[in-house]
RNA sequence: UCCUCUGUAGCUCAGCGGUAGAGCGGGUGGCUGUUAACCACUAGGUCGUUGGUUCGAAUCCAACCGGAGGAGCCA
């Protein structure tokens, strides 16, 4: 008999009749004449209640000794539940123990701390919370592809090992083949030159946009920053669209449309999991997501943002002044207190932004934009790229960069240059926003952070 | 890298100078269409590590290691 999933059985309108289900025991309650077994196979948040009568074969040997975490194969008939709390339950004819769980199985019915769950990252997807997080993660990855594919964007695989430093994106991991004392910088490089794990596929993405018009990347990204915060990881996934014949306005439009599309899709497709988050993780989650879905985002220039902050009457720990970076506390004020909704800040002073951003006509600012969301801060960073060869060359000089290192990037401006723009979306930050989970380590299966690369 | 907090049973935590505790989880028995089930009994610990102070340290001090939060950097 083919295996049915718990999700399939629970959403049936009529009884599917005789079925086989397989999964892991979440909890068991014994009665004199039978046992209740809560079986979960990860296909959905809910468990299937199994009624194992004391008369079924092997009851005394296996069912009585079942503990949380054991794996089972159950055959039986799906019947309407006599109890409250579930529509269907399965009256078992046969319960086969596939694998018992030792009595030190760490997951319990009671709540565990997130820190403890990180220490058992190989078992935590068996919990309600992490099962839900990773189902939503899968759905959002699918939805990102759907969003772009339906718009005719071409998915490009930019290299993971790269020799180019997307300046301003952060510290890089060095790729070497030698170990320890064998390693001398510049000597016997496998690739003939120093190479790193990518911090961004943007520069390579630009080359494909300047051929296929609209492209996106979606892949792993690496930063060797020694960051100890709830929003940073050494390995994370990033989505980077790049559009030819597009300016900063079109770039911001796409970013906002994308966030709204993903939030709407999560509300539609992940209802059960989001309800769980709303109940146990973040009580205002669904209300906030619906707000994002239904309302337009705020959009202010950097200069306006500085004015708002100065007029706010708030005292900030860090100074607010034109030419200074917006600090976390400033971003938080704008999006959480002033506008109370996702906010795009654009046109930043050129001095605080990287060389590739397009200089505006005012000569002072560049066409950069950051999309800030409440609770997380920056979720998207992007810009219109400098397509004018002479201005790009001035930028190399101003940023003290060697043009020769970027010859292929410069070529794009020599051979049929076009206005183009793009942005980077941190996939895990999106997931934090959509699930309400507060720590990036809890939305990535096996998080890599400074000093920690277990599993 | 800087600042702050934290480390006691499988898990969550109490104890804060004088014989190591509770709840949950495990085991055994009972009871009940139960659903964070319930009741009784029971097993379970080099109190992060090393050193110091003390008659005596889980408790006080120092260093180190691990974990967390914040800042910076950014996605």
Is position A113 within any domain? no
Q: In what order do the strands lie in the sheet with A161-162?
A: A161-162, A195-197, A174-175
A228 touches strand B (CB under 7 A): yes
Instruction: Give the H or E element holding residue A76.
Output: strand A71-80
pLDDT at A178 over 80: no
Q: Tell me the pLDDT band of A328, cut-offs 50, 70 and 90.
A: confident
CA A18 to chain centre: 39
- β-bridge pairing A71-80 and A88-99: antiparallel
pLDDT at A299 over 90: yes
Is position A117 within any domain? no
Percent of chain A with pLDDT over 70: 96
**Nucleotides in chain B near protein beta carbons (<7 Å):** 1-3, 10-13, 23-28, 30-37, 66-75
Half-sphere exposure of A199 (CA within 13 A, CB side): 17
**Residue with the two structure tokens 């034109």:** A322
DSSP E strands, A246-388: 298-301, 343-349, 365-373, 377-385
A49 touches strand B (CB under 7 A): yes
Q: Report how far residue A346's alpha carbon sits from residue A252's, in angstroms, rounded to the nearest whole number.
A: 9
Residues 6+ apart with CB under 8 A from A187: none
Closest C-alpha to A39, from A23, A60, A55, A63: A23
Considering A160-169, A237-246, A371-380, the range whose residues carry the highest mean pLDDT is A237-246
A289 and A354 housed in the same domain: yes
A214 and A360 housed in the same domain: yes
Is position A297 within any domain? yes
Q: Which domain holds residue A194?
A: 124-442
Q: Tell me the pLDDT band of A143, cut-offs 50, 70 and 90.
A: very high
If one compares A135 and A181, the residue with the highest pLDDT of the two is A135
Instruction: Specify the pLDDT at position A296.
Output: 86
Q: Report how far residue A445's alpha carbon sits from residue A455's, in angstroms, rounded to the nearest whole number.
A: 10
Instruction: Examine the fold and report which residue of A84, A99, A114 is the final residue of a domain before the chain moves on.
Output: A99
pLDDT at A167 over 70: no
A274 and A217 housed in the same domain: yes
A420 and A300 housed in the same domain: yes
Instruction: Specify the pLDDT at position A125.
Output: 93
Helix, strand, coil share (%) of chain A residues, nearest 5: 35, 25, 40
Is position A451 within any domain? no
Closest C-alpha to A201, from A217, A225, A222, A223: A217
Q: Report how far residue A265's alpha carbon sits from residue A284's, in angstroms, rounded to the nearest whole number.
A: 18
Q: Do A254 and A239 touch, CB atoms closer than 8 A?
A: no
ipTM confidence: 0.86
Is position A256 within any domain? yes
Contacts by residues A309-314 (CB-CB < 8 Å, ≥ 24 positions apart): A309/A333, A309/A334, A312/A337, A312/A338
pLDDT digits (tens, 9 = 90+) for A119-136: 889 999 999 999 999 999
A146 and A50 housed in the same domain: no
Phi, psi of A199, rounded to the nearest 5 degrees: -105, -10
Q: Report how far residue A335's alpha carbon sits from residue A14's, in angstroms, rounded to the nearest whole number.
A: 47
User: What is the spatial distance, in angstroms and rounded to an integer, between the CA atom of A451 and the C1' atom of B52?
Assistant: 30
The nucleotide lying nearest A441 (C-alpha to C1') is B68
Average pLDDT, chain A: 90
Instruction: Examine the fold and report which residue of A99, A116, A137 is the final residue of a domain before the chain moves on.
Output: A99
Tally of CB atoms within 10 A around A31: 11
Residues 6+ apart with CB under 8 A from A29: A35, A36
**Residue with the two structure tokens 């990860």:** A42
Is position A319 within any domain? yes
Is position A157 within any domain? yes
A229 touches strand B (CB under 7 A): yes
Q: Do A74 and A21 touch, CB atoms closer than 8 A?
A: yes
A141 and A240 housed in the same domain: yes
Q: Report how far residue A58's alpha carbon sits from residue A268's, in angstroms, rounded to the nearest whole number.
A: 43
Chain A 104-163 contacts with nucleic strand B (CB below 7 A): 104-106, 108-113, 115-116, 118
A308 and A428 housed in the same domain: yes
Chain A 186-205 contacts with nucleic strand B (CB below 7 A): 200
A186 and A279 housed in the same domain: yes
Chain A 244-303 contacts with nucleic strand B (CB below 7 A): none
Q: Is A213 helix (H, G, I), strand (E, B) or coil?
A: coil
A335 and A229 housed in the same domain: yes
Residue nearest to nucleotide B1 (CA to C1'): A226
Q: Tell me the pLDDT band of A240, cut-offs 50, 70 and 90.
A: very high
pLDDT at A271 over 90: yes
A438 touches strand B (CB under 7 A): yes
DSSP E strands, A232-292: 235-244
A257 and A132 housed in the same domain: yes
Q: Tell me the pLDDT band of A145, cut-offs 50, 70 and 90.
A: very high
Lookup: tokens for A203: 């520069």
CA angle (A200 as vertex; A326, A208 as ends), nearest 5: 120
CATH number of the domain at A293, please. 3.30.930.10
pLDDT at A179 over 70: no
CATH number of the domain at A42, please. 2.40.50.140
DSSP E strands, A195-234: 195-197, 214-222
- Provide the β-strand partners of residue A423: A382
Is position A392 within any domain? yes
- Provide the β-strand partners of residue A242: A215, A422
Residues 6+ apart with CB under 8 A from A394: none
User: What is the spatial distance, in angstroms and rounded to an integer, between the CA atom of A91 and the C1' atom of B46?
Assistant: 50
The count of structural domains within chain A is 2
A129 and A63 housed in the same domain: no
């Amino acid at each position: 008999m083919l295996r049915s999933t718990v999700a399939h059985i629970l959403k049936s309108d009529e009884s599917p009749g005789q079925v086989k289900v397989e999964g892991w025991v979440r909890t068991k309650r014994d009665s004199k004449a039978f046992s209740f077994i809560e079986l979960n196979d990860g296909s959905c948040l809910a468990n299937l209640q199994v009624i194992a009568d004391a008369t079924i074969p092997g009851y005394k040997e296996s069912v009585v000794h079942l503990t949380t975490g054991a794996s089972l194969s159950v055959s039986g008939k799906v019947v309407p539940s006599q109890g409250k709390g579930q529509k269907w339950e399965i009256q078992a004819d046969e319960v086969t123990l596939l694998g018992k769980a030792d009595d030190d199985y760490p997951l319990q019915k009671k709540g565990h701390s997130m820190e403890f769950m990180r220490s058992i990252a190989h078992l935590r997807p068996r919990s309600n919370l992490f099962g839900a997080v990773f189902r939503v993660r899968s759905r959002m990855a699918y939805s990102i592809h759907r969003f772009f594919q339906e718009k005719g964007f071409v998915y490009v695989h930019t290299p993971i090992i790269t020799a180019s430093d997307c300046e301003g994106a952060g510290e890089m991991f060095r790729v070497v083949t030698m170990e320890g004392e064998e390693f001398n910088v510049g000597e016997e490089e496998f690739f003939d030159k120093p190479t790193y794990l990518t911090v961004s596929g943007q520069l390579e993405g630009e080359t494909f946009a300047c051929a296929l018009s609209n492209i996106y990347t979606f892949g792993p990204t690496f930063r060797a920053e020694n960051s100890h915060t709830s929003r940073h990881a050494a390995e994370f996934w990033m989505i980077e669209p790049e559009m030819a014949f597009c300016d900063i306005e079109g770039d911001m439009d796409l970013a906002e449309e994308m966030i709204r599309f993903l939030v709407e899709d999560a509300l539609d497709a992940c209802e059960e999991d989001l309800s769980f988050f709303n109940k146990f993780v973040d009580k205002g989650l669904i209300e906030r997501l619906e707000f994002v879905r239904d309302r337009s985002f705020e959009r202010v220039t950097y200069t306006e943002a500085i004015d708002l902050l100065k007029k706010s009457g708030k005292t900030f720990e860090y100074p607010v002044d034109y030419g200074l970076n917006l600090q976390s506390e400033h971003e938080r004020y704008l999006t959480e207190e002033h506008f109370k909704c996702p906010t795009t800040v654009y046109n930043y002073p050129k001095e605080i932004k990287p060389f590739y951003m397009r200089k505006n006509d005012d000569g002072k600012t560049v066409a950069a934009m950051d999309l800030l969301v409440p609770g997380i801060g920056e979720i998207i960073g992007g810009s219109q790229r400098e397509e004018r060869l002479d201005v790009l060359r001035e930028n190399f000089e101003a940023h003290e960069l060697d043009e020769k290192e970027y010859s292929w990037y410069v070529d794009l401006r020599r051979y049929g240059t076009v206005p183009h723009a793009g942005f980077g979306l941190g996939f895990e930050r999106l997931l934090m926003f959509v699930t309400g989970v507060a720590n990036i380590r809890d939305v990535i299966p096996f998080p890599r952070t400074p000093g920690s690369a277990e599993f």
